[in-house]
Structure 1
Amino acid sequence: MKSSEGQGEDRGGAVGTLSIGALAARFGLATHVLRHWESMGLLAPGRDTGGRRRYGADDLTRVATILILKEAGLGLTTIRSLSATVDRDARHEILRPAAEELRSRIAAAQASLELIEDGLDCTYEDVTQCPNYRRLIAERTSTRVRPESG
C-alpha cells in the first residue's frame, strides 16, 4: 500500500485520516463514487497542504450512512435532503414516500416469490395448468382495462 493511501501522517496529510483511495477501498467503492457524492454535497472532505482529499472518522460514518440508505432504496437526492435537515416533520416528509415505495417493492417481491414457490410446488407437467398460476393470471387479467368493442 502506498503511504498516501493508509492511515497516519503522510505527505502533508493529517494524522488519523484516509486518502480517497483508502476510503474507497475500505467500502469497496470506486474513487469516482466518492467524488460524485462530494459534488452532490453529501461529503465534504478536508484537504491536506497539497490539496488532496483527507477523510476522517466523521466521513467514514457518513459513507456508511449513505450506503445503508442506498440499500434501503433511497436515491442520492433524497439522502442529501435527509442529511440537510434536523427537523422531525421535514424528515417525515422526506421518508414517507420512500417508505411507501419500499412497501410497494416488498409487495411485488412477495407476489413474485409466491409465483415461484407455486411453480416449485406444482405437480402438473405444464405449470400453466396449476390452480395457483391460473388464479394469479385471472387476477391480473381481471384488473386490466378491457378494450371497448366497436
Structure 2
Amino acid sequence: MSIGELAGRFGLATHVLRHWESVGLLVPDRAPGGQRRYGVEELRRVAMIQIGKEAGLGLGDLRDLLAAVNDLGDRRSLLRHHHARLVERIARAQAAKRLIEEVLECPLPFDECPRARATIEARIPQD
C-alpha cells in the first residue's frame, strides 16, 4: 500500500510516517519509481509505535526497543528504565489530581487554600 493509504488507515498525516522513517522506526520497501510501499509488517510496526507512544515512550526509546526485539536483556533493561520513569510521572499526576480536588473543595482563593499554599511554599527554593 502507499504512504497515503497507510497513513489513512491509522488517521495519521503522511509526514508523520516520513518522520518515523527518518528516525529509523519504519523501513518501507520502494517501488521501481522510488515510491514507498508498505505491507503487513509495516502495519504492525505502526500499531506498535502508536502503542509505545501511548505508553509514554519517545521515538528514540521506541527505536531502541524495536531494535532489541530479539535481545531479552536489552529489552528488559529499556522497559525497566521506562517503567521507573512512568511510575514517577504517575505519582506526580496523582499528586496534582489530589491538589486540584482539594482546591475545588476549598472556598478560598487558590493561593489561600491550605494544600495549595503548602505546595506553593514547597516549590520556593531555599537560600
Q: TM-score range by the shorter chain?
A: 0.7 to 0.9
1:136 Cα deviation from its structure 2 partner: 5.1
Aligned letter for 1:42? L
Matches within 5 A, 1:67-106: 67-85=50-68, 86-106=70-90
Note the alpha carbon deviations across 1:116-146, whole angstroms, 9 max, x for none: 1112222x343444xxx42453366358652
Partners of 2:24 and 2:80 in 1: how far apart?
A: 23
State the one-letter code of the partner of 2:43: L
- Deviation per CA, 1:57-112: give whole Å up to 9, x if none: 11011001001101111111111111111121111211122111111111111111
Bigger RCO (CA 8 Å, 6+ sep): 2
Which whole-Å deviations, capped at 9, do the CAs of 1:25-71 have from their partners, x for residues lacking one? Answer: 21121111111211222111112222211111110110010011011
Give the TM-score, by structure 2 length.
0.85
Does 2:121 align with 1:137?
A: no
Unaligned stretches of 5+ residues in structure 1? 1-17
Coordinate RMSD, CA, aligned = 2.0
| Aligned residue in 2 for 1:112 | 96
2:122 and 2:17 mapped to 1: Cα distance? 48
Alpha-carbon distance in 1 for matches of 2:23, 2:8: 21
Structure 2 partner of 1:38: 21
What is the one-letter code of the residue matched to 1:95?
Answer: L
Structure number, greater radius of gyration: 1
**Contact map agreement 2:103 2:115 (CA 8 A) in 1:** no
**CA distance in 1: counterparts of 2:122 and 2:38, whole angstroms:** 56
Greater percentage in helix? 2
CA distance in 1, matches of 2:4, 2:14: 6
% identity of equivalent residues: 51
> Structure 2 stretches of 5 or more lacking a match?
none
